Structures are given as structure tokens and as C-alpha cells.
Structure 1
Amino acid sequence: MIEIEVVYASVDRQVLRTFSVQQGTSVRAALKASGITDAFPELDLATCPVGIFGKVVTDPDRQVVQAGDRLEIYRPLLADPKEIRRLRAAKAAQARQSDQ
């Protein structure tokens, strides 16, 4: 058995769970075993992106967890950060033009 952590933060609360799984357990199986969906029933572990220590896991069904791993479940972005920066830059440029 190895010890790992699972973390998830919704808009209003966050949960960190530490538990043990069999060595050789996949990321997806560990997430299911964590019971995180009991606390967040809206989570769809089959489709939501996940990572280990901030690095996205591309194939959670094949990636095996290691002792001490922190599995992170990511929420979808509400807005594209690049688009927000582009709009902010356009607004600043428009403000500079109106000041002249």
C-alpha cells in the first residue's frame, strides 16, 4: 500500500484527502477510490482534467500513482486567460487614444 493525496477546489470550498491505495493503481482508479465524488457529486471523473503536482496527466487510465503523489482535479476555465489579456490590452489602448 502507498499513501497519496487527492485535492479538489470548487468555487466555495476545497477538499484534501489522504488515503492509501495498492501499488500499481492508476490515477483514474485512485480518484474513484478516494470517494471525492461523495463530497462533489457534480464531478465527472471520466471527463475532467487531472494532474499530479501541477502537471496534467494525459492518460489517467494508464498513468500509475507513486507514493506521496498529490492528484489534482481541475475545474474547467470560466474564461480563456489569453482572451481576457487581449481584451484588457485593447481597452487600455482605447483609453490611451481617447486621452490624446
Structure 2
Amino acid sequence: MGPVFKKDLIIVQIVAALTKRHFIKQLQVPEGTLISQAIKLAEMKEFYPEINCSTLKVGIYGKAVCSETVLQQGDRIETYRPLISDPKEKRKLKNIQKVRKA
């Protein structure tokens, strides 16, 4: 790869809320950078040592995407934590409890 000039750089933001702590970092990366590369550059692993970057679910502005997605200027990369419980099951249990109280 040749030298990187200012015009070849884009600005992206990475956000995460995997625990009670929030992570927000703005990066300047070369055009053509993948989400997985940006996450490594952001050093999220130092902030969240428990995460497995290879299985981390990610999205851009609320839309789920693959970690091999090429970033565009201004993208906001969001990391998604695993669900603690299935929302459908939780609603079903809540409705059963309501019926029992009635």
C-alpha cells in the first residue's frame, strides 16, 4: 500500500455499551478500511477485555452488517451485545403472569 494522504482518510465513530461502561471513539482511517479493522484500531479489547471481536455483532446506524463491510465517511459503527433473554419468551412469561393474577 502506498503513502496515505489526507484526502485518502475518512472519519468514523465506534460505539459500544457492552457493560455498565460506554465506549465511544472517533477514528481517522484510510478509505477501504473494514469494520473489523477499525475495531482493532480503536483498541476496544483494552476497554472490554471480555469481548471476542471475531464473534461480535456489529451494525452501522442501527442496521446489522457484516464485520467485513467497507466503511464510508461518517459511518457510526455500533457493537451489539448478546441478548440476556429472548424477548419473545419474556413477553410470553409476562402475559402468563398477568393471566394468573386476573
TM-score, structure 2 normalization:
0.87
Offset from partner CA, 1:11-68 (integer Å, 9 cap, x none): 22101000111001111111111111111111111001111111111x212x111111
Q: How many residues align?
A: 94
SS where residue 39 of structure 2 aligns? Answer: helix
Task: Provide the rounded CA distance (Å) in 2 between the counterparts of 1:79 and 1:11.
Answer: 16
Amino acid in the other structure paired with 2:89: E
| Of 65, 77, 85, the match for 1:71 | 77
Percent identity at matched positions? Answer: 36
- Find runs of 4+ consecutive structure 1 residues off by over 3 angstroms: none
Task: Provide the rounded CA distance (Å) in 2 between the counterparts of 1:27 and 1:73.
Answer: 10
Asked if residue 33 in structure 1 is aligned to residue 41 in structure 2, the reply is: yes
Query: What is the correspondence of 1:1-100 to structure 2 with a 5 Å cutoff?
Result: 1-57=9-65, 59-61=66-68, 63-96=69-102
SS where residue 28 of structure 2 aligns? Answer: strand
Q: What's the Cα RMSD here?
A: 0.9
Task: Provide the rounded CA distance (Å) in 2 between the counterparts of 1:47 and 1:83.
Answer: 24
